[in-house]
Amino acid sequence: MNYINNYNLTAYNAYRINAVCTKAWFPENETDLLEMLRQNKNKRLIILGNGNNIILSKEYYEDEFIILNGCFDKITVNNTEMEAEAGATLLQLSKTALKHHLTGLEIFYDIPSSVGGAVVMNAGTKEGEIKDILVKVRYLDLADKQINEISKENIGFEYRNSFFQKNTDKIVLKAWFQLAKGKPEQIKTKMEQTKHTRWAKQPREYPNCGSVFKRPPGRFVGPMLDELGMKGFTIGGAKISEKHSGFIVNTGNATGKDILSIISEAKKRVKERFGVDLEVEQRII
């Protein structure tokens, strides 16, 4: 089983925050993961998937990290059903679907997320969410170290929320998706259109973790921040994007504290002006 001491996490978080953990583990399969947990049963372990929806708030972590990125990412196709380990990315999943002439994943093509993270957050767009194609999930219960499976009907999916978001001791290991046969040229066209639309609206030129806040009922976060004149608002190396105010970007050497300070100020101003309590979509570690 692979592990590295004093490991730099910069490449494992989409904000590209410079942070180090005391030890990073890289399990290749469920057996590796269970053995690693057995060896460290009294330690707090932090699990990172693709690192696309997290804010690392510290420069150094005494905690050890389990990293499911570049590993634990096997994908299997059986007719129109796809089985994917938690470390696989939605990009890998979408490309595999195209290769097998399967439709249903096109809108997820350019969403930067691991399968595990997508299930936990119920990732998606206005066109659909991961729950729409999910069949079931295999997960590890850290409370008793047992592996279980749960159907999507019992996961309690909501907007950017799920059973796994509310129960952080339940770790997604694998997910099954039901797709349909399609024409490869149409699948590829929709994938490219999805990517083009997203890149036109989002600040992909800077490191970021996507939408910072959940959309409040009847409101949109970006226009509220625009009205408050916060577009381009900067603390340290972090800035509210001038391309889309719902994003915070790292313009260079941003720390987790810089990002959290901007979040705090945005929440305060929105509450004062609009009476709206903004809820952070991203996971703060």
Tell me the catalytic residues: 160, 211, 281
In angstroms, the CA 224 to CA 205 distance is 23
Helix then strand count (H, E) for the chain reads 7, 19
Contact 112, 50 (CB under 8 A): yes
In angstroms, the CA 259 to CA 255 distance is 7
CA geometry: angle 176, 178, 180, nearest 5 deg: 150
In angstroms, the CA 32 to CA 27 distance is 5
How far is residue 5 from each of residues 29, 63, 193, measured CA to CA in Å?
20, 11, 42
DSSP 216: P
Q: Burial code of 157-188, b = ≥16 C-beta within 10 A, e = fewer? A: beebbbbbbeeeebbbbbbbbebeebeeeebe
Query: Which residues lie below 8 Å from residue 75, measured CB to CB, with a gap of 6+?
Result: 82, 83, 84, 85, 88, 92, 93, 96
